[in-house]
Structure 1
Amino acid sequence: MPRTVKQIVLAIYHAAVEPLAALARRRKRLAMFERRGEAWPPEIAVRALRARDCPPRCKADPHRIEGVVARYLGVRRRPSRLTPLIVDLDRYPTNAAFESYVRKRSSRTLPKVRRAQRLGYQAKRFPLARHVHDVHAVKTSMKRRAFGLVLDYWLLRLEDVGKPAVKPVAWRTPPCRRHWTMWWGVFVSEPGHAQGAVTVDERLVAYVKLVRRGDFIHYADLMGHGDHLNENVMALLHFEIMRWLLDREDPLVEGVRAVLYGAAEQGGDGLVTWKKRAGFEPARLTLIEES
């Protein structure tokens, strides 16, 4: 029942409130970013549908783009659409080049990441079943965030997050390199910490659900525990993911063109400022149709 209430509220928001917010906020929000040339925001063309070379076990729907991504398409043709904030990986040949660009926007961002590392926080991939209890704790740790009131604070049940593991589980490589869902988290060592009956000896304090669809990756769910946000765990998580992507060594990131995290019109000014300092920029996302 709580899950149904949340879905109804979000459906009304996305259908009626969000389009009006996009129109009202767009000019101010885009002014927060440096304009680049005449064709701005730039157009980034990506492929998202299932490719012919996907393995039989690929779970991507060959005929449908998820609604959350569809909301970011065609903003020029449909003004009520959102303006996606994107890191265009083609602009950065190495992670060092990306970090150099970030330093020009903010001299304090990367030192904060290093400080989090010195405090013992580590970012890595994890199977959701291994940390269902911790994810629930993160989601329900604050009543209000940058996007506004957090419905999960009141409505989220443990079973809504996922099915907890009943024995130790390890992370497994997705069956398809072009279409996958993956969880990354920030952890701190805590001997004896358990998830139900399974002892994991570490606590998850921030997480992101990454969704790859062809040429782009979407931050579908990014959140940190309220007790750890001041330790810059969110910046640590983002920049470790960017390092993984820009090292370009893992077959799972081969061919990724862009990283998408929400829209310029969403949330408060503080959230947009954080995204700007993290290297995100406005863009126009268009799809290349697969034959």
Structure 2
Amino acid sequence: MANKLKGAALAFYHSTYEPALALALGRRRVAGFECAAVGGPPEIAIHPHRVAGCGPDCGFDGGERRRVVARYAVKARGEGAWDQTLGRIARRLSLTPMAIDLDRFVSAAAFDAAVKRRSSRTLPKIRKAAKMGYVAERFSVHAHVYDIHAVRTSMRSRAAGPVLDYWFLKPEDVAKPAGRPATWRMPKCPRHWTLWWGVFLPEPGHVQGAVKVDRRLVAYMKLMRIGDVLHYTDLMGHGEHLGHGVMNLLHDAVIRWLIESGEPLAEGVRVVLYGAAEHGGEGLLTWKKRAGFEPIRLILAPAPDR
């Protein structure tokens, strides 16, 4: 029931409310960033499509990935006056993606320096969380269904408003719980995949259903790779642990993995996308700014010949 209610609410929100939100808040939200002084958000061409190496099990053709592209990217326009006019209208009615351009950072240290320029408090929060024993890593959603349920029902309201999950979500709505210890699986396509990352605290004896896991999941993030874009979706922390910097720790771990790991799953990711400038309140926008995100216009490149 919770998933059906959420689906109906999101369909209305995306098709009707978000264009109005873009008109009402877009320019004002962008004004607090450096790009406002140089003509607005920079533009980056993205390449979300399938390519020759994707293979038959590639996940790009799934509807969710296509919806993300349609929601956050605008199509390239020609040079003619009419095309330019249509482009301006499309941008005014479109959300302003909040993203990180990884091409700007040759190392994780370079990214840390950029974050420090935005806020002197973010990096100390990450170090504090690590000292408290929190650890961020990939996991199987089936192995921590009950912990995810606890996270999602830990607060009645969050930055984006009331949380329907608080009243309606059941553990079985999250995923099918594992009946034995489970680990994350390697995706079949390196360019189109979904992975879960979480923040854990050691807790001997902690269980998920009948399965002993000896650690508690206190924050999580669902990552969706769409070509050279990595989309943060379903990002949430338990209300009792948010004050310990767990979300900063999780974000930092993912960025370091993308920049430094050299894994095929991370290679080729240029843009890290986390919603839009118009989403949520000023508190969420401030968090994104301090985490290194900035307004960027995503331009959909033509699909390649395969």
C-alpha distance in 1, partners of 2:209/2:127? 32
Please tell me the residue identity of whatever aligns with 1:22.
A
Please tell me the residue identity of whatever aligns with 2:143.
R
How many residues align structurally? 291
Work out the percentage of aligned pairs sharing the same amino acid.
56
Please tell me the residue identity of whatever aligns with 2:169.
L
- TM-score between the two structures when normalised by the length of structure 2: 0.91
SS where residue 35 of structure 1 aligns?
A: helix
Q: Is the 8 A contact 2:96 2:277 kept in 1?
A: yes
SS where residue 249 of structure 1 aligns?
A: coil
C-alpha distance in 2, partners of 1:217/1:188? 26
2:275 corresponding residue in structure 1: 262
- TM-score between the two structures when normalised by the length of structure 1: 0.96
C-alpha distance in 1, partners of 2:206/2:63? 43
2:110 corresponding residue in structure 1: 97
Residue correspondence of structure 1 range 64-213 to structure 2 within 5 A: 65-74=65-74, 76-78=88-90, 79-213=92-226
What is the CA-CA distance between 1:19 and the residue it aligns to?
1.6
What is the CA-CA distance between 1:53 and the residue it aligns to?
0.9
Q: CA RMSD in A?
A: 1.7
Q: Which moved more, 1:252-261 or 1:35-44?
A: 35-44
2:41 corresponding residue in structure 1: 41
Question: Could you give the per-residue CA deviations for residues 183-231 of structure 1, whole angstroms, max 9, x where no partner exists?
Answer: 0000000000000000000000000000001111000110000010000
Please tell me the residue identity of whatever aligns with 1:263.
A
Question: Could you give the per-residue CA deviations for residues 84-117 of structure 1, whole angstroms, max 9, x where no partner exists?
Answer: 0010000001110010111111011000100000
1:52 corresponding residue in structure 2: 52
**Aligned in 2, Cα 1:11/1:89: closer, same or farther, shift over 3 Å?**
same
Please tell me the residue identity of whatever aligns with 2:66.
E
Question: Could you give the per-residue CA deviations for residues 38-93 of structure 1, whole angstroms, max 9, x where no partner exists?
Answer: 45311111110111111332232189952133111228441221000010000001
**Aligned in 2, Cα 1:62/1:226: closer, same or farther, shift over 3 Å?**
closer
Q: Is the 8 A contact 1:181 1:211 kept in 2?
A: yes
- The unaligned stretches of length 5 or more in structure 1 are none
Please tell me the residue identity of whatever aligns with 1:280.
F
What is the CA-CA distance between 1:36 and the residue it aligns to?
6.7
Q: Is the 8 A contact 1:47 1:214 kept in 2?
A: yes
Question: Could you give the per-residue CA deviations for residues 139-188 of structure 1, whole angstroms, max 9, x where no partner exists?
Answer: 11100000011111112121111000001112221111111000000000
